[in-house]
Amino acid sequence: MTLYIKKLFIPLAFFLSMQLSYSQLGFSHELGVIAGPVAYQSDFGVRSDFETNAGNSGIGLGIVHYINFSYRADCNCYTTDKYFNDHFKLRSEISWNKTKLEHFGEWVESNKTSENANRLRGHSGEAQNWDIGMQLEFFPRSIREFSAGVYSFAPFVSLGAHYVSYNPSVYTNYVSSDFSNLNNFGDIDDPSNFYSFWEPGSVSDKSGSAWSIVSSVGTRYKLTVLSDLMVDLRFQYFFSDKTDGLDHQLSSNKANDWMVWLNFGYIYYLD
């Protein structure tokens, strides 16, 4: 946990300074919580395979904060009539996600009996990330009219960037057919316990950090005058291929890690 805090300190300081700057301008604030299932797309399993997508799934949790440009807290009044103020919000977020990873698909089917198939079946992992970042949300409908209860739903799309601190875990329970690896059973630093066509160093449980692009589409539902329910579907692309603890250089590894997160949230208007 101390390692995570150190890695997130600089972006967290920037995050807080941005919030203080907007607070001084008098814009209103919203605070909420989000949670939902995560589908992790990595070098585990077969890409674009339903079993992989369904099997390598986890959970995400987060705290979100919004700057609402359409309303000023310092005067309890709406801002001047500008398109940006009435259709955009700035979303800041601190979130965490965790996903257990295994190999699924054709290379580990029951009819595959090679040592490499057994190595893949014995190899598992876990992706765990802490995120902090911002997204700019665009609401096609008027934010003021939604706040006033003119309509119940407010769809939106967003785009932003998140700083990610990742800490993968790696496991293997592979036992060779001749039991020759019993002395190094479970040793993740021994390449012979993993797929033989991966180059040494492909498997690692080292933590690190990276930037990511985040985009989502969703909607809010007006629950009360001062609260909304929210649902959005997020796509997050990491500028790293090591967040899952596996980075081999075979031709099948064509992209960095990415994930899809369907989250549900509750948003409360602070002022």
The pTM of this model reads 0.86
Predicted confidence at residue 81, as pLDDT, reads 66
Flag residues of the chain having pLDDT under 70: 1-26, 47-50, 71-81
Predicted confidence at residue 162, as pLDDT, reads 96
Pair of tokens at residue 129 = 């990330």
Predicted confidence at residue 250, as pLDDT, reads 81
Closest C-alpha to 265, from 230, 219, 226: 230
Pair of tokens at residue 34 = 């989000």
Pair of tokens at residue 101 = 């990873």
Predicted confidence at residue 88, as pLDDT, reads 94
Predicted confidence at residue 16, as pLDDT, reads 53
Predicted confidence at residue 2, as pLDDT, reads 54
Phi, psi of 25 (to 5 degrees): -80, -10
Predicted confidence at residue 180, as pLDDT, reads 84
Q: How far apart are CA 126 and CA 122, in angstroms?
A: 14
210 Cα distance to chain centroid: 12
Predicted confidence at residue 102, as pLDDT, reads 93
The answer to whether 68 and 111 have CB atoms below 8 angstroms apart is no
Task: Give the C-alpha distances (Å, rounded to integers) separating 159 from 75, 164, 224, 232.
Answer: 30, 16, 27, 12
pLDDT in tens, 145-195: 998 889 999 999 999 999 999 999 999 999 998 888 888 899 999 999 999
Residues present in the chain in total: 271
Predicted confidence at residue 90, as pLDDT, reads 94
